[in-house]
Structure 1
């Protein structure tokens, strides 16, 4: 069943190239759970279209199943390079393998790494007081434990 569902899912995503897969599981009780994201977000209609493309091509007489297609929530960590690319210009909180936590604007996302930039206040090298310093971090995906988009309200 897994291969059949994957083929149907791939075809559904080919029909709308702005959508991409984030997560796909089938439990022992044949509960199919699919999480998708999109370069321009995901609408309810997108979820319905993917769901129908799969559900209408599986035989419930052969195997009983339940199907859930959902969009990646704003509070869920980023998982795919394509998710990082669509969030360029937004503020991220990134936790690294070394335990470091970085908050900064996502300025670049390649297939291997992301670049974050931020400003911080640091003591002046000479004299008293602080000055603003621009910082930058380039973090490979395999060093990222968790990355979330920070939601700000103005």
Structure 2
């Protein structure tokens, strides 16, 4: 089973487990090979999640994943917060986070810069808009993160 298929299958299972939880939102699912395979499930809620939220979903998800052959490899399951500098990956992320400051890392420099910082003011499915002016195609973007001021 391909990486994307695993992520999609786990996302569907997690969404089903969270459907009665109006307050907890599934943010992302990531299946990556580091030294071992890691299955990371990111959740959030207004005011932030706590360890009990993570543990509850982890236990339910582990039981569901053990029932079927959703994940073909041996893996480590992690359920956590996406963090305050979360990566924006999906269309719903770009819609939800409009009006917030983001860091955009490009594959190739644009006007001499590979890192752009600005307010996310638009998303049309193929590109994001920064500060109401600069349109950047998703194909040109390596990563978008919420900006953190220290």
User: In structure 1, how many angstroms separate the alpha carbons of the residues matched to 2:96 and 2:43?
Assistant: 10
> Quick check: which has more Rg, 1 or 2?
1
User: In structure 1, how many angstroms separate the alpha carbons of the residues matched to 2:101 and 2:47?
Assistant: 17
Q: Which of 47, 56, 75 in structure 1 is aligned with 2:54?
A: 47
Contact 1:84 1:109 in 2 (8 A): yes
User: In structure 1, how many angstroms separate the alpha carbons of the residues matched to 2:38 and 2:47?
Assistant: 22
Aligned residues: 132
| Structure richer in helix, relative to its length | 2
Post-superposition Cα deviations, 1:98-137, rounded to whole Å, max 9, x if no partner, equal 31332211112233221111xxxxxxxxxxxxxxxxx711
Contact 1:92 1:147 in 2 (8 A): yes
C-alpha deviation, 1:138, in angstroms? 1.1
Contact 2:85 2:146 in 1 (8 A): yes
Task: In structure 1, list runs of 5 or more residues that go unmatched.
Answer: 118-134
Deviates more, 1:72-81 or 1:91-100: 72-81
User: In structure 2, how many angstroms separate the alpha carbons of the residues matched to 1:26 and 1:50?
Assistant: 22
TM-score normalised per structure 1: 0.62
**Secondary structure, aligned partner of 1:151:** coil
Task: In structure 2, list runs of 5 or more residues that go unmatched.
Answer: 20-24, 68-72
Superposed CA RMSD in Å reads: 3.5
